Amino acid sequence: MRNLQNTLISRWYQQVWNQGIEKSIDDMLDDDVTVHGISDDVPLKGTNGFKGFYHDFKSQFTDIDVTVEDVIAEDDIECGRCSVKAVHKATGKPVSFTGIAMVRIKDGKITEGWNNFDFLKMNQQLGMKLVAQ
């Protein structure tokens, strides 16, 4: 059986998202990190780029709980499948959705990340009417 707690990606979700320890972003992300998939098809650059997304999400949601369901790790890559639960601050509505993140690690820090989270499902749970363009 895999020990999920031994992986950087599991510690990332636990400390950064579940415990809200912002300092862990600096501890676990490389200063020049590139983060794909969480901001309108434009990769976020550097820890400050990621912190913009982090603050925006945390300003909209409370009671964030990310459960890492499984992790596969090989060489310098870890891939984690997770489920997310949170409460939308403005409406009080709970949301739940799933996602997968894959990260490249060098010298104990994340240097690049690829994310695929079901933000469509999250927005639908908030009652947003999404129209195809």
Q: For residue 73, what is the domain's CATH number?
A: 3.10.450.50
pLDDT of residue 6: 82
Is position 132 within any domain? no
Q: Which two tokens stand for residue 87?
A: 């409460």
Burial (CB count within 10 angstroms: exposed 0-12, middle 13-18, buried 19+), residue 113: buried
How many angstroms separate the Cα of 46 from the Cα of each of 28, 33, 125? Answer: 12, 5, 31
pTM: 0.90
Is position 133 within any domain? no
Q: Which residues pair with 80 in a beta bridge?
A: 71, 101
Is position 46 within any domain? yes
Domain count, the chain: 1
Is position 130 within any domain? no
Range of the domain at 99: 4-125
pLDDT in tens, the chain (133 residues): 456 668 999 999 999 999 999 999 999 999 999 999 998 779 999 999 999 999 999 999 999 999 999 999 999 999 999 999 999 999 999 999 999 999 999 999 999 999 999 999 999 999 987 665 5
